[in-house]
């Protein structure tokens, strides 16, 4: 059995190679603010509301977001592979699941972890438009301040961040670090 000191040491060791950019409390406050804005914008509209989480990166964000939303809504996740390899963020997006038909005649909110090149959201907006929703909006936790290779609108953004590779709160590096309750940078990557 571990005592409190042992547990604290393991947590410290686990995270010693990460610089925290956005802590858990700031994330929670911002998610609540985003939920309030979405409710304000969509709450009085006629028709169903469907959130489309882009898996796997958005799973923690969307889980917290939907618990804060007090609107009746559907959840229709899609899986997009956009970051093959390790720290690469510009190799394109590939839809791995079909666009759900339930989006037809619905107010759609695409939910993603991070907006960088714009490729993923641009592709999904185009594909969702084909099933004729009432409206399409996008909500991202992080808006990376980079020159975008695709023009894409984003109605709701949690935080603006610099052009650096981030992990935590759903974002990974080689499949690791998604479970961190904060967003940070890997010190090893900061020096590359």
| Two tokens, residue 151 | 């023009």
Q: Give the separation between CA 36 and CA 99, rounded to whole angstroms.
A: 27
Q: Give the separation between CA 82 and CA 79, rounded to whole angstroms.
A: 10
Q: Say whether 4 is catalytic.
A: no
Query: Which residues neighbour 180 within 8 Å (Cβ) at sequence distance 6 or greater?
Result: 15, 18, 167, 168, 169
Catalytic residue from among 64, 112, 113, 116: 116
Q: Give the separation between CA 48 and CA 117, rounded to whole angstroms.
A: 30
Q: Give the separation between CA 76 and CA 15, rounded to whole angstroms.
A: 33
Residues belonging to the active site: 116
């Amino acid at each position: 059995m571990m005592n409190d000191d042992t547990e604290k040491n393991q947590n410290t060791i686990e995270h010693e190679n990460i610089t925290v950019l956005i802590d858990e409390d700031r994330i929670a406050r911002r998610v609540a603010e985003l939920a309030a804005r979405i409710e304000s914008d969509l709450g009085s509209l006629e028709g169903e509301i469907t959130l489309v989480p882009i898996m796997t990166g958005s799973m923690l964000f969307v889980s917290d977001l939907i618990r804060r939303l007090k609107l009746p809504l559907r959840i229709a996740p899609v899986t997009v592979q956009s970051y093959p390899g390790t720290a690469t963020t510009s190799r394109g997006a590939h839809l791995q699941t079909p666009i759900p038909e339930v989006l037809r005649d619905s107010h759609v909110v695409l939910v993603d972890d991070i907006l960088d090149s714009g490729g993923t959201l641009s592709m999904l907006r185009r594909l969702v438009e084909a099933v004729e929703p009432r409206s399409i909006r996008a909500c991202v936790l992080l808006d990376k301040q980079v020159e975008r290779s695709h023009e894409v609108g984003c109605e709701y953004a949690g935080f603006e961040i610099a052009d650096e590779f981030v992990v935590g709160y759903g974002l990974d590096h080689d499949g690791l670090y998604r479970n961190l309750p904060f967003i940070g940078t890997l010190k090893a990557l900061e020096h590359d």
